[in-house]
Amino acid sequence: MAQKMEIIARQTSQKKIIYDYLMSVKIHPTAEAVYENVKKKLPQISQATVYRVLNNLKIKQKAITIMSAGVAHFDADMSPHTHFICEKCNDVFDVPDECSNCGILKNIKTKVGKINNYKIYFYGKCNKCEK
Ligand SMILES: [Zn+2]
Ligand SMILES: [Zn+2]
């Protein structure tokens, strides 16, 4: 019993550390990058655990993924915001104000149904790659 409690406590803290890490960064890390960072705090954690926790966060709608060059980047910022994907380094950036007019898309009735929400991705070369 005590052992089971211990396992649950450990899983909870693993989950919390992964979630806290994701909340604290703006870099939209890949699952692998999350694993590399979390490993510093939890040296015993397995890659499979990190992937499972990330997938659960996604299912519970506490995180989203943005695909860049076929790789999922994680974001725990659930507020509606637009992303910029660099076609050179494949990094994902937040673009906070660039799409203030896009709200007009909401409630528009299309041939297949009414729009409740939308996601917009900008593609280009980031400032770092442009240099
Ligand atoms: Zn770039
Ligand atoms: Zn974001």
CATH 3.30.1490 fits 82-130, yes or no: yes
2-75 in CATH: which number?
A: 1.10.10.10
Residues 106-125 have pLDDT tens digits of 788 999 999 888 888 999 99
Q: How far is the CA of 87 from the centre of ligand 1 (A)?
A: 7
Residues 40-82 have pLDDT tens digits of 999 999 999 999 999 999 999 999 999 999 999 999 999 888 8
For CATH 1.10.10.10, the residue range(s) in the chain are: 2-75
Ligand at shortest distance from the CA of 86? 1
pLDDT computed for residue 100 by the predictor = 67
pLDDT computed for residue 46 by the predictor = 95
Q: How far is the CA of 106 from the centre of ligand 2 (A)?
A: 20
Task: Say how many Å lie between the first and final Cα of the chain, rounded.
Answer: 59
CB neighbours of residue 12 within 10 Å: 10
Q: Do 92 and 26 meet the contact criterion of CB atoms below 8 Å apart?
A: no
Residues 3-47 have pLDDT tens digits of 777 777 777 789 999 999 999 999 999 999 999 999 999 999 999
For CATH 3.30.1490, the residue range(s) in the chain are: 82-130
